Amino acid sequence: MQQTIWIILVSMMFFGCDGNGTSPVDHDYLELRPLTAKEQSLVDSNQEFGINLLQAITVVDSTSNVFISPLSVSMALGMTLNGASGQTYIDMQNTLELASLSESDINQAYKSTMDLLMSIDPDVITLIANSIWIREGFPVEDAFIDTNEFYFDACIAERDFADPATLEEINTWVADNTNGKITEILDQIPVEAVMYLINAIYFKAIWLFEFDKQYTETADFFMSSDNVISVDIMAQTANLNYFEDDEAQVVDLNYGRGNYTMTVFLPKPTVKINEFLNDLCADQLDYYITNMQEKSGTVLLPKLMTNYKLLMNDVLIQLGMGIAFSSQADFSRINPQEELFISRVIHEAFVQIDEEGTEAAAATVVEISKYAGGPSVEFIININRPYLFLIRERETGVILFMGKIQEPVWGD
């Protein structure tokens, strides 16, 4: 493997930074207006919530690949928050790390951040869609509908939940808004279900510096010291933002014009991936990102195509939202006459990382039910062991997707 690395490295140094004899292309990095205080609070909350979520999922599922969109989960629960009252509202607000914002500030920050993310880079496809599906005949407070229509641009649909066509229609809506990457997020509609609040995100971008396919080779990936598999690893040499300390190597791989980026965290060989993740916090994340500097280096990155689906009830309960899933839940701002609770939060995400770029999608479903009765190379980063990565917008700091990869796979 080391011989292969150096053959690739020497070839790239000889032929140029993009590996094919040309210089890196010029790009127009788009500088955005400064974020408002409310938007910045939402961004900070998104980072903290995303880290908490990934850490909690790893407790439940410590050995598998994990790939999620904290923004999707946050947005679906953000819509649901507009129907919560009392302690239910407080616990959900705290779980989402939004305690510093008023309700109107939260909604406005979601709206402006969503609009901003979809308009930042014309070379990157970022689509965010929301919908609310209501059981036919179930009364819902007008204020709840109006708020989510205005701030989340939510599509509102009232349907017969007993009709099998409704399940198909909901799944089709998710498929349409994730470019066919998530096709069956719901397997059934229980008789107690009265509402579904759904967020869908689709992201597709080419690398600013693409990986040349001629340098993709089969190589070892060390899942652990005694578990080695063969994977396809891509290679490139370019000027990239990079930082290294005793714990990890960190590198930015930019998309489009450079606003969107994949940030890869490769723990040092002596640091286990779950230990690194458990020690991560928003301040530590900011430390890594702000200390990166542009350097010339070589990146060896496994190709990846994987799908991850999880019932998130236990994870969200662990993070402090237990009351929302219980008989003590208060969703009186949806319907004050019924005892409503969150029965399921389902999250599914897809990612494909190859030589051209990245395609990713995610959907989150919140199911509301009622009780029936109740140049010179300065570094080499060889990503040949478990690693973390984020897909984020650099100017705002919004994290769209997060992943912990134990085993790079290609396909099902």
pLDDT per position as a tens digit, 320-343: 999 999 999 999 999 999 999 999
Question: Domain range spanning residue 397?
Answer: 2-21+208-304+376-405
Same domain, 272 and 191: no
Cα separation of 42 and 215, whole Å? Answer: 40
Same domain, 261 and 297: yes
Identify the helix (H) or strand (E) that includes residue 38.
helix 37-60
Q: Is residue 379 a contact partner of residue 266, using CB atoms and an 8 Å limit?
A: no
Same domain, 97 and 193: yes
pLDDT tens track for 236-262: 999 999 999 999 999 999 999 899 999
Q: Is residue 356 a contact partner of residue 216, using CB atoms and an 8 Å limit?
A: no
381 CB contacts (<8 Å, ≥6 apart)? 242, 249, 251, 264, 266, 297, 298, 299, 300
350 CB contacts (<8 Å, ≥6 apart)? 67, 178, 181, 182, 306, 307, 308, 359, 360, 361, 362
Pick the residue with more confidence: 348 or 373?
Answer: 348
Q: State the pLDDT at residue 35.
A: 79
How many angstroms from the chain centroid is the CA of residue 177? 15
CATH number of 330's domain: 3.30.497.10
Written as six digits, the tokens of 225 are: 């010291």
Same domain, 147 and 227: no
For the residues 288-316, what does the mean pLDDT come to? 95
| pLDDT band (50, 70, 90) for residue 296 | very high
Q: Answer whether residue 28 shows pLDDT above 80.
A: no
Same domain, 298 and 309: no
Residue 410 domain-assigned (yes or no):
no
pLDDT tens track for 136-155: 999 999 999 999 999 999 99
Same domain, 399 and 329: no
Same domain, 114 and 251: no
The CA-atom distances, in angstroms, between 285 and each of 26, 200, 277, 389, 401 are 28, 26, 11, 11, 14
Same domain, 242 and 348: no
338 CB contacts (<8 Å, ≥6 apart)? 194, 370
The CA-atom distances, in angstroms, between 397 and each of 79, 283, 285 are 22, 13, 11
**3-state DSSP helix/strand/coil percent for the chain, to nearest 5?**
30, 35, 35
Cα separation of 69 and 49, whole Å? Answer: 11
Same domain, 201 and 221: no
The sign one gets for the Cα dihedral 271, 273, 275, 276 is positive
| pLDDT band (50, 70, 90) for residue 201 | very high
Same domain, 250 and 101: no
Same domain, 239 and 386: yes
Same domain, 13 and 70: no
DSSP per position, 325-354: GSTT---TTT-TTS-EEEEEEEEEEEEEE-
The mean pLDDT of the chain is 89
Cα separation of 314 and 61, whole Å? Answer: 12
How many structural domains comprise the chain?
A: 2
pLDDT tens track for 95-110: 999 999 999 999 999 9
